[in-house]
Amino acid sequence: MSLPIAFTKTERPATPNPWVLSDRTLTVFYGCPEMPRLSHYFLPRLLFAKKQILYLDGANQISPLLLARFARERGVEPSSVNSLIRVARAFTCFQLTELVRRVPKTLERFSADVLIVTALPDLYFDEDVRDPKRPDELLVADRGGLVFVPKLGFTPNVAELDFVSQFPSIMARFNISPETVNCPCCPDAPRIPELGYRICQKRRGITSRVVERLIAKRCELKKLLKTTAPDTALRFKLQRDSMKWLLVCCFGYTGYKNARFGKIEAHEAINAVARETLLVAKEIAEADGFELIHALVDSLYVWKEGATREDYERLSQEIETRTRLPLAIESVYRYVVFLPSKQYADVPVPNRFFAVAEDGELKIRGLECRRHDTPPLLGRMQHEVLAILAEAHDYDSYLQKLEIARGVFEAYEDRLTNGEVDIRDLVVSKRITREPRDYKKAGVTAIAAQQLFGSGVKLRPGQNIEYVITNAEAHVPNDRVRAYALWEGWFGYDRKKYGAMLREAFEPFVLCVPKRAEPILLSDSISEDDLDRFPLFSALVTSRP
Ligand SMILES: [Zn+2]
């Protein structure tokens, strides 16, 4: 983005009237601490001119109540105002940098006319960060949670161990709070790993005290939930969930300079302890002969040949004792299958796997059946296949079940190639990222959007449209796809394309099975029998020197 910059100096304003935002100009307002509130002055005018606004809020300046007030004062529905604005908050300069970096991507989904960023200079010149850090120190300090990439493929008998409310527990256990980090009274306190920050040993931190109570309350509610009849349990469940969100906020706001109890060092310290905890847990598990097959921020997936639930409980106990943080067995799985990225077959990704718990319950991440844009046919096939695979207990039974599952998949494939599939089962639902006329490439979504637009349907970026692929390779773009709303019986569906999509949706289940070697057609050991059956072979064999 290269825009002229207009400075707002009082002696020589960049625009004839400094209180009007000029078009296609980057305007920077900087000065008194009240400056971020200036956006309140511009917002109503922009909103009632129906301008779409992307608001990156580094100063905690915007609230739904404020927008509702604007709407009320004008006598319009608050929802009409809400639809025009998208808000993302940043608590630290790192988060703001990330938000700014993502603006082009965001604009694909939400075509904003105006971008407002508050506290852009303030977050970078943060007086709370007393010792200016070197760039490499910033890098160490800002690393978030730790991830160990998963071991690809089938692993039987895996336990998932989760640290309970990990970040708040760290705040409570290690007394990390804005006023306890690098306090002046304890120069010789032990240091936080990686960062070297000190934590006060004389005073109990205020946020540490608060989260401690919230954690205790949440535990109580959890226990109550287990002993309460289902009809009254909902109340406890909602209370427990609200405790969880309060705890998330207590942690999140430590990283937010403008929060009353915000201090970036506290946030960094909590993250550093979390990373250290995961490393320690890994060491303990490995010392006990377990293998860590995946770890992500606050959960570990461990495995050991022949380990029982009791073994995993003992391990969990030991990690809890050593790290002094509560750890619980989330589940012991009969097996877990970690899958590679869809783009790169040898690159493991943390969010694509399926697992079957001891009681047969499935945990699925990143498969087509979890996505909303998948044609129902693909999702149903995956669910049916998974239901069969869930009966497997080990690798051998997995292979057996896979053969049954393959039968299910092939039945789907047959119905697809015979043209017997109901068109409703093939509807793809996609979110459009721009105005129909603004699409430059004739992708299927763009074509479907333009068909709808052409027949008078009003569409805005961010809306979902539904279509059926009719002939993905058609020369005329308009023949490739048909908006479902305009569907007429005589369009056929693209059997080849849907067949490929169906095969791709079955792929995750066979990925963990080593591929069978291709039958060798041409070898030196051709039997007389082969020569009789395939005359071509005899020609080839005799032509060799
Ligand atoms: Zn102290």
Taking only the tens of pLDDT, the chain with its 545 residues reads 455 555 544 445 455 555 677 777 787 777 777 777 888 888 888 888 888 999 998 887 787 788 888 888 888 888 888 888 888 887 777 778 778 888 888 887 888 888 998 887 777 665 544 444 444 444 444 455 567 878 888 999 999 999 988 999 999 999 999 999 999 999 999 899 888 999 999 999 999 999 999 999 999 998 888 888 888 888 898 999 999 999 988 888 887 767 777 888 999 899 889 988 988 999 999 999 999 999 887 889 999 999 999 999 999 999 999 999 999 999 999 999 999 888 777 777 878 899 999 989 999 998 999 988 899 999 999 999 999 999 999 999 999 999 999 999 999 999 999 989 999 999 999 888 778 888 878 788 899 999 999 888 888 887 889 999 999 998 988 899 999 989 887 788 999 999 999 999 999 999 888 755 444 343 444 455 555 555 444 444 433 33
pLDDT number for residue 378: 96
Instruction: Give me ligand 1 centre to Cα 491, in Å.
Output: 75
Please say whether the beta carbons of 221 and 240 come within 8 A.
Answer: yes
Rounded Cα distance, 257 and 254, in Å: 8
pLDDT number for residue 160: 96
Start-end of CATH 1.10.132.60 domains in the chain: 423-492
- Specify the CATH architecture of the domain 147-366: Alpha-Beta Complex (3.90)
Instruction: Give me ligand 1 centre to Cα 197, in Å.
Output: 12
Instruction: Give me ligand 1 centre to Cα 203, in Å.
Output: 6
- Tokens representing 408? 């299910």
Stated as kind and residue range, the H or E segment containing 206 is helix 206-227
Rounded Cα distance, 393 and 159, in Å: 14
Instruction: Give me ligand 1 centre to Cα 170, in Å.
Output: 18
Q: Which residues contact 298 (CB under 8 A, 6 or more apart)?
A: 145, 162, 163, 166, 167, 274, 278
Instruction: Give me ligand 1 centre to Cα 221, in Å.
Output: 34
Partners of 183 in beta bridges: none
Please say whether the beta carbons of 311 and 299 come within 8 A.
Answer: no
What pLDDT digit, counting tens, does each position of 52-79 carry? 999 998 887 787 788 888 888 888 888 8
Instruction: Say which CATH topology domain 423-492 has.
Output: Topoisomerase I; Chain A, domain 4 (1.10.132)
pLDDT number for residue 462: 79
DSSP secondary structure string for all residues of 208-274: HHHHHHHHHHHHHHHHHHHHS-HHHHHHHHHHHHHHHHHHHHHHHHHT-TTSTT--HHHHHHHHHHH
pTM (2 d.p.): 0.68
What pLDDT digit, counting tens, does each position of 338-368 carry? 998 887 777 778 788 999 999 899 999 989 9
Q: Chain centroid to CA 121: how far?
A: 29
Please say whether the beta carbons of 395 and 305 come within 8 A.
Answer: no
pLDDT number for residue 483: 93
Instruction: Give me ligand 1 centre to Cα 134, in Å.
Output: 26
Of the chain, the end-to-end C-alpha distance in Å amounts to: 68
pLDDT number for residue 529: 59
What pLDDT digit, counting tens, does each position of 115-164 carry? 998 887 777 665 544 444 444 444 444 455 567 878 888 999 999 999 98
pLDDT number for residue 542: 39
The dihedral over CA atoms of 104, 107, 112, 115, expressed in degrees to the nearest 10, equals -30
Stated as kind and residue range, the H or E segment containing 349 is strand 348-357
Residues with CB under 5 A from ligand 1 (ion): 183, 185-186, 200, 202
Instruction: Give me ligand 1 centre to Cα 175, in Å.
Output: 11
Instruction: Give me ligand 1 centre to Cα 208, in Å.
Output: 14
pLDDT number for residue 17: 55
Start-end of CATH 3.90.1600.10 domains in the chain: 147-366
The CATH number of domain 31-124, selected from 3.40.50.300, 3.40.50.620, 1.20.58.1000, 3.60.15.10: 3.40.50.300
DSSP secondary structure string for all residues of 422-464: -GGGG-EEEE--S-GGG--S--HHHHHHHHHHHTT----TT-E
